[in-house]
Amino acid sequence: MSKKNKNVQKPTSQFIFQKKNYIFLFIGLAFIALGFILMTGGGSDDPNVFNPDIYNFRRIRLAPTLVLIGLGIQVYAILLNPNKNKE
């Protein structure tokens, strides 16, 4: 029988991203969460009464813009290479 190789290297566990990537990921999550929080509310207790606050600037323009900015930050955080050398 053959001898087993005793020099087997154990795989080292490393994070996929570095600290800078995770900071941008959390900033993006904060933007997305803030956007969804700003979208909430504006309902009416009585379904027969129309509440025009559902169509205000905060819910129609600001909140979706914040969510899209947050998603853009997430994409940037994933594609960011902090090891890139600047020359």
Domain contains 29: yes
CB atoms under 10 Å from CB of 18, counted, come to 13
- C-alpha 14/C-alpha 8 separation (Å) is 19
pLDDT at 4: 65
pLDDT at 3: 61
Domain contains 25: yes
Domain contains 6: no
Dihedral, CA of residue 59, residue 61, residue 64 and residue 67, to nearest 10: -110
Which residue, among 80, 63, 67, has the nearest Cα to 24 in the 3D structure? 80
- C-alpha 77/C-alpha 28 separation (Å) is 8
Q: Which secondary-structure segment (H or E) carries 72?
A: helix 63-79
| Total domain count, the chain | 1
Provide the residue-wise pLDDT of the chain in tens; the chain has 87 residues: 566 666 777 777 777 889 999 999 999 999 999 999 999 977 777 888 888 888 899 999 999 999 999 999 999 999 998 888 765
Query: 34 is in which domain, residue-wise?
Result: 19-43+52-79
Domain contains 87: no
